[in-house]
Structure 1
């Protein structure tokens, strides 16, 4: 049996993982995690999750946790943990809407604004260095194509999840979230 297995393996072509576009994008994303950047670490000891939430609150204020989850494509549990950590550190605050006391929006505190300003200055430098070989036109096209790839990824995964759901298979929370993202894209 071992000989049969090794013979089958020898005749099967190996998958060219380095040519798999989602894999290449994931590798770049892993390299560029905010928590790995020593310049960011000098500014704050926040983890990647908290940094993503802080950046979204600072950029889109006022914003809800649900909006951050949609924008970042992270699950609501991850976002709520990030929000809780930032609230505990006094970097953000929640405020109720005047006409809806149940819904709370997130805002940076003065302390959070100071961290946000330093982090975004560092990110601006990093962005310029990272893509320095691109012309302005190439950068614009790349951003446009990355947005298209994001939409395509959500649509593809949502279609797979919907097909499973239509067959009566119970979906995980992640799969349900992907369907929600897809429905918001319309």
Structure 2
């Protein structure tokens, strides 16, 4: 039997209300859900579909795998979002000229039109959210998020 290592934290219970990963996850979900209600109500899009559209608009010709890596979405969520957007006529898949096993994703004209309508709404929601912070607090939040992102993912940038 291996000897137990002494752990000074072993007697400290985990309190989710002060556990940073839990708090960040709940905050992210609350923010995403609030905005997702707008996308769903106005455009019939899930948050996952909107994320795929936004990344595709930002990087035309991106693959579904790359979308998953960039957004930290799992393969199933990306696949469902892509399939739904193709069915809605907002996204199209084209074979890659470089790799026959890969396909590239592009917004259709209809998808680009919806994207153009959503962007001002998304920016407005973001502005409303950050209006709770002063300019210096906004700058500090950005700095701290970058610092946490580097700690969480030292080998590659998250955004």
Q: Deviations over 1:63-108 (max 9, x none)?
A: 1111111111112222112111111111111123334343221111
Pick closer, same or farther for the CA change 1:147–1:71 going to 2, 3 Å. farther
For 2:156 and 2:132, the matched residues in 1 are separated by 37
Partner of 2:44: 45
* Aligned residue pair count: 148
Shift in Å, 1:55: 1.5
Shift in Å, 1:18: 1.6
Pick closer, same or farther for the CA change 1:68–1:128 going to 2, 3 Å. same
Listed as ranges, the gaps of 5+ residues in structure 1 are 1-11, 156-181
Matched, 1:64 2:63: yes
Higher helix share: 1
For 2:79 and 2:36, the matched residues in 1 are separated by 24
Partner of 1:19: 18
SS of 2:131's partner is: coil
CA contact (8 A) 1:43 1:119 kept: no
SS of 2:102's partner is: strand
Q: Deviations over 1:138-162 (max 9, x none)?
A: 323312322332342346xxxxxxx
Partner of 2:31: 32
Shift in Å, 1:124: 0.2
For 2:90 and 2:34, the matched residues in 1 are separated by 17
CA contact (8 A) 1:94 1:104 kept: yes
For 1:152 and 1:42, the matched residues in 2 are separated by 37
Mapping 1:163-178, distance limit 5 Å: none
Partner of 1:93: 92
Q: Which protein shows a greater Rg?
A: 1
The TM-score, its normalising length taken from structure 2, stands at 0.77
For 1:132 and 1:36, the matched residues in 2 are separated by 16
For 1:135 and 1:72, the matched residues in 2 are separated by 28
CA contact (8 A) 1:55 1:116 kept: yes
